[in-house]
Amino acid sequence: MVGPFEVWVGVGEGRVRGRLADLSLGVLRGCVPVRRPGAYQRQRHMPGCWFSTAAGRLLEYESLLERDWMLLMDFDRGVEGVCEQPLRLGYRKDGRPASHVPDLLVWRDGAPELCDVKSAERVEDPEFQAQVRAMELACAEAGLAYRVLCEPDRQLLMNARWLSGFREAPPDPDGERARMLCVLEAGPATISELLAGVVEPALARPVLMHLLWAGCVLVDVGAPLTEESRVWMAAREAA
């Protein structure tokens, strides 16, 4: 694998071209997709669109695995921005020009991270491994984070899928949000305890689920969500 690693970044209606190490964070923050996923007969992947709360727009994904990671990034409270197909990296392989478009650019806690999404059964493909090596070298030169995302934890994904149905704050005519937060300020409580004695359970449960989705209160998302799951106050709410 040979550098220097030149990139093409979409900005508005045009493109910025240069070494990845020389690009400003402002250019990366303003990037738009450099290409769109293809759709054709008998393709192995299922492309589509996911409305990302982190990006504030529809993101186009190339596979259901990529869609799953877009969902999990919305659920990750540290993620503040996502762009799909953010740039094209040019490099040389075996003396010939080659290029690669990483799947995602993720902004987490103010820092950018480039990601490729690939199923575990295909991650060792020699062609993909060559692309990974080019990305690793280019990102190391630029001081950027890079990682390959395979299948996520199944239970985490199931819980995030369920809670994503409560992304929008539901009506709360009975003030259940304030009551639940008041209960949790005194210490953790189970879901059943938080819903005990509510005015209208059908309205109170969505309020609690939205609090969990938004990260205002926390639960062990690595275990199945049940009535006995313990919920506790997030640090920023307790402050």
Q: Is the pLDDT of residue 16 over 90?
A: no
The CA distance from 199 to 205, in Å, is: 11
Range of lowest pLDDT (14-28, 31-45, 92-106, 136-150): 31-45
Q: Is 60 in the same domain as 92?
A: yes
Stated as kind and residue range, the H or E segment containing 29 is helix 25-29
Six-digit token pair at 20? 């990845």
What residues contact residue 83 under an 8 Å CB cut-off, 6+ apart?
Answer: 31, 32, 33, 55, 59, 104, 105
Q: Is 212 in the same domain as 98?
A: no
The CA distance from 117 to 137, in Å, is: 18
- Cite the beta strand spans of the chain per DSSP E: 2-11, 14-19, 31-32, 48-52, 57-61, 79-84, 87-93, 96-100, 104-108, 111-117, 145-149, 189-190, 217-219, 230-233
Long-range CB contacts (within 8 A, 24+) of 54-57: 54/79, 54/80, 54/81, 54/82, 55/81, 55/82, 55/83
Q: Is 115 in the same domain as 165?
A: no
Residue 160, pLDDT score = 98
Residue 237, pLDDT score = 43
Going by pLDDT thresholds of 50, 70 and 90, the confidence category of residue 14 is confident
Q: How many domains does the chain have?
A: 2
Range of lowest pLDDT (8-12, 43-47, 91-95, 172-176): 43-47
Task: Residue 105: give the domain boundaries.
Answer: 2-149
Among 149, 167, 192, give the residue marking a domain's end. Answer: 149
Report pLDDT digits (tens) over 195-226: 998 999 999 999 999 999 999 999 999 999 99
Share of the chain above pLDDT 90, in %: 77
Residue 148, pLDDT score = 98
Residue 5, pLDDT score = 79
The CA distance from 184 to 232, in Å, is: 6
For residue 62, the one-letter residue type is E
Residues 91, 39, 128, 126: is their CA dihedral positive or negative?
Answer: negative
Report pLDDT digits (tens) over 74-104: 999 999 999 999 999 999 888 889 999 999 9
Q: Is 125 in the same domain as 194?
A: no
The CA distance from 28 to 112, in Å, is: 8
Q: What is the CATH number of the domain that holds 33?
A: 3.40.1350.10
| DSSP bridge partners of 6 | 19, 90
Residue 139, pLDDT score = 95
Residue 94, pLDDT score = 85
Q: Is 42 in the same domain as 133?
A: yes
Q: How close are the terminal C-alpha atoms of the chain, in Å?
A: 50
| DSSP bridge partners of 219 | 231
| DSSP bridge partners of 96 | 93
Number of neighbours of residue 104 by Cβ within 10 angstroms = 21
Q: Is the pLDDT of residue 8 over 70?
A: yes
Stated as kind and residue range, the H or E segment containing 99 is strand 96-100
Q: Is 178 in the same domain as 145?
A: no
Q: Is 191 in the same domain as 232?
A: yes
Report pLDDT digits (tens) over 159-178: 999 999 999 999 999 999 99
Q: Is the pLDDT of residue 13 over 80?
A: no
The CA distance from 23 to 15, in Å, is: 12
The CA distance from 136 to 147, in Å, is: 8
Among 97, 117, 149, give the residue marking a domain's end. Answer: 149
Share of the chain above pLDDT 70, in %: 94
- What secondary structure letter does DSSP report for 97? E
Per-residue pLDDT averaged across 182-196, rounded? Answer: 96
Of 229 and 235, the one with more pLDDT: 229
Q: Is the pLDDT of residue 21 over 90?
A: no
